Structure 1
Amino acid sequence: MVFFFALLGGLGVAILADWLLFAPWVRAPKRKSIIKAALLQAGMTNVAPSKFVVICLGCGLAFGILTLGLTGTVLFAAVFFGFGVFAPWVYLRHQATKRQAALQEQWPEVVDHLRSAIRAGLSLPEALSQLATVGPQILRPLFADFALDYRATANFSVSLEQLGERLADPVADKILTTLRITREVGGTDLGHTLATLSAFLRDDVRTRGELAARQSWIVSAARLAVAAPWILLLVLGTQEAAKEAYMTAGGVIVLGLGVGISVICYRVMLRLGALPVEERVLS
């Protein structure tokens, strides 16, 4: 009995010390997977990450079988299997970049519509819902979903959060955060704030358009430079002498080094050719 009470007292002292000396343990918020974030940025909300992985494997298998049929070499088929697995990811990132550029051109118009609707006396939910019919064509389905969510839940914050998740855009996060703060704490300068934001967005779109036009040919040339050796390898793979040369230990080392150098150069090319990307506020 004495031992039991001593153990109970020691446990109480340990809990008290833990409460006084250590910060409470908080579960870190679960981060979205890279694939899911890329799918959202590309607007492919109906594609699950697991389905995208299956698509990558299927594409890699198709590349491998096609290469094996053309060259009859398992080594070349394995190399192009890896390229095939990576190809859908490259396409996904391209679509995401293309969609982000298209959205950036539309945000000033969205801000102008919101400003006009608010000045006309509409509430914030009504102003956002109205964009399903008068907003830019590319964004109308997303604002229509917001209107459905708001009618179903009557909760502006939850509907706004779901809209931000579907848009997956840093500029949208700024606009939605401004609207949320105005809704929660009130304010009379929303019209002036939206006008300033619209002017800033138009300047940003104009500057990014000029930079993208200057860098597009450089990025295209770099991509061609990365792809050209492997297209040549596929052509050479139909020749018996080339296949015998690459099937040696030295040939395997050369292919391995070539794959590594191509991947590194492609990443460096993307890093040098990419414009600065704003981080999301609501991610």
Structure 2
Amino acid sequence: MNGSWKSRFQHSHTRTLLFGFVTGLLVFIITQSLILSSPFALLASGSHFAIARGKKNKFASQLSTAWPEVIDHLISGISSGLSLAESLTGLASRGPEIVRPAFHEFHMQLQKDGDFSGGIQNLKTYFSDQSSDQIFEAIILSKSLGGNELMSILRTVGEFIRQDVALRKEIEIKHGWVKNSAHLSAAAPWLLLLLLSTQPGTVNSYSTPTGALILAAGVGMTALAYVWMNYLGRLPQIPRVFSR
């Protein structure tokens, strides 16, 4: 699991650099100016990195909405007479799509060495999510102590997760249009510059040391404004209590 995440990280950064290079090359072909194409290459790389992070955040959001369904599958499996291990491994084929690969790995590990607790710890490490931590800790506690309250605990945890997901979705919808407006405001000056760069006078103006300084300041201010906007609009993450 760790290797797959490392591979994804490396591929993501390679794509970011490649996207910036291609964008800079296209702008250079249009303007025939290295000074004008360099800021666009940097901004393109930064925007691609931001989009990649947005996809990661979207994955985390989709994952959080999957846990109530996971709990429902576990409760249904246990109620039908399946063991806890069978209910968990069944998620590899019947669970939400987003969690199936991880539970397939859990199933394979369980068949290989039968280490149930170790498999649960690997799942916790893979998901690294406070909602999943609560579920897996309840499972570990029930497995070790032989408790009969697992169903009740899972129902309670599922209700808490549903309430949290509903609240976060409502907040994200309200803040979404503000973020989109900020993204457009950050991109508009550079799109205008790209249009103006087709004029020889614009290229000559920015080919001077003063013009290069203005471009550098523009890149810095755009990046700073974007980072600050995302910081202000970021929802606080609930800390993981059972991270170990």
- Asked if these proteins are the same fold (TM beyond 0.5), I'd say yes
Instruction: State the partner residue of 1:270.
Output: 230
The one of 136, 145, 149 equivalent to 2:96 is 136
- Equivalent residue for 2:219, pick from 251, 254, 259: 259
- After superposition, residues 171-210 of structure 1 pair within 5 angstroms as 171-210=131-170
Match of 1:53 among 13, 19, 25: 13
Of 63-72 and 144-153, deviating more is 144-153
Task: Return the alpha-carbon distance in structure 1 between the equivalents of residues 137 and 48 of structure 2.
Answer: 33
Closer, same or farther in 2 for the Cα pair 1:71/1:170, shift >3 Å?
A: farther
Which residue does the alignment assign to 1:21?
A: none
* Matched residue type, 2:108: L
Return the offset for 1:204.
1.1
Query: TM-score, with normalisation over the residues of structure 1?
Result: 0.78
Secondary structure at the counterpart of residue 115 of structure 1:
helix
Aligned partner (choices 199, 224, 235) of residue 184 of structure 2: 224
Find the counterpart in structure 2 of residue 102 from structure 1.
Answer: 62
State the Cα distance separating 1:258 from its structure 2 match: 1.1
Give the share of equivalent positions with the same residue, in percent: 32
Q: Does structure 2 conserve the Cα–Cα contact (< 8 Å) formed by 1:62 and 1:84?
A: no
Give, in whole Å, the separation in 1 of the partners of 2:175 and 2:231: 12
| Deviant stretches of 4+, over 4 Å | none
The answer to whether the 8 Å contact 2:43/2:219 transfers is no
* Matched letter for residue 52 of structure 1: S
- Per the alignment, residue 282 of structure 1 pairs with 243
What is the CA RMSD across the aligned residues, in angstroms? 2.2
Q: Which residue of 1 aligns with 2:201?
A: 241
Deviation at 1:154, TM superposition (A): 1.0
Shift of 1:210: 1.2
* Partners of 2:229 and 2:68 in 1: CA distance: 30
| 8 A Cα contact 2:120 2:136, kept in partner | yes
Structure 2: how far apart are the matches of 1:104 and 1:69? 45
For 1:173 and 1:230, the matched residues in 2 are separated by: 44
Moved more, 75-84 or 257-266: 75-84
TM-score (norm 2): 0.89
Distance 2:35 2:106 in 1: 51
Shift in Å at residue 124 of structure 1?
Answer: 2.6
Q: How many residues align?
A: 242
Deviation at 1:62, TM superposition (A): 0.8
1:121 deviates by 4.0
Q: Answer whether contact 1:113 1:131 (CA < 8 A) is retained.
A: yes
Match of 1:118 in 2: 78
Q: Are 1:77 and 2:40 counterparts?
A: no
Structure 1 counterpart of 2:164, one-letter code: D
Structure 2 alignment gaps of length 5 or more: none
Q: Structure 2 counterpart of 1:166, which letter?
A: Y
| Partner SS state of residue 7, structure 2 | coil
What is the alpha-carbon distance in structure 2 between the residues aligned to residue 97 and residue 53 of structure 1? 17
Residues 211-265 of structure 1: CA distance to partner in whole angstroms, max 9, x if unpaired? 1111111111111111111111111111111111112222222112111111111
C-alpha contact (below 8 Å) 1:60/1:82 kept by paired residues: yes
Q: Which residue type is aligned with residue 209 of structure 1? A: K
